[in-house]
Amino acid sequence: MTAHSEVPPDTLPVELAEDGVEVEYTDGRRVFYRGVPTVAEGSVQPAPGKDVHVLVTDASGTQGVLVYVDERTTEDEILESSGVGRVILDQGEETTVFPGVWVRRGGIRVTVEADFDTVDGRVFVFAEDEMGERSYELVAGD
């Protein structure tokens, strides 16, 4: 069994489209997260058992960092060559994935939260499994 470790993300090109969000990895591959993100004020807690990815872009939405949360299947070398980061959480643990954006694992769910007094960009959360995917955009609350 291969041990997986945390991997720091690189800055990646991002394209925001009407029907989703595309990220280009440093190795030239692209991933397209389909669908218009659901707006969530300040935080989101995707359903249990989903693969959770957090994308934080600059204010223009043209570049950002992509981090997989608690993902334990992809080899470290693959993530390192793609520019995608990874954080690994124990139950009850919380960590910062980008200044002003943190993730917490409580039980079987992951929570992603953003402080828009600190974040000068956009925060997207993608939750997916073999049954489908959902996307969210965190925004400042009232």
Tens of pLDDT along 96-137? 999 999 999 988 899 999 999 999 999 999 999 888 899 999
Is pLDDT at 6 greater than 50 in this prediction?
A: yes
pLDDT single digits (tens) 77-103? 999 999 999 999 988 999 999 999 999
Residue type, 60: S
Structural Rg of the chain based on CA atoms: 14
CB contact set of 139 (below 8 Å; sequence gap of 6+): 39, 40, 41, 42, 116
What domains appear along the chain, each with residue ranges and CATH number?
12-139 (2.60.40)
The pLDDT confidence band at residue 24, using thresholds 50, 70 and 90, is very high
Phi-psi region of 50 (alpha: psi -120 to 50; beta: other; left: phi over 0): beta
The pLDDT confidence band at residue 142, using thresholds 50, 70 and 90, is low
| Closest to 85 measured CA to CA, from 1, 21, 25, 16 | 25
Average pLDDT, the chain: 92
* pTM (two decimals): 0.93
Please give the angle made by the CA atoms of 131, 136 and 140, to the nearest 5 degrees: 160
Q: pLDDT > 70: what percent of the chain? A: 97
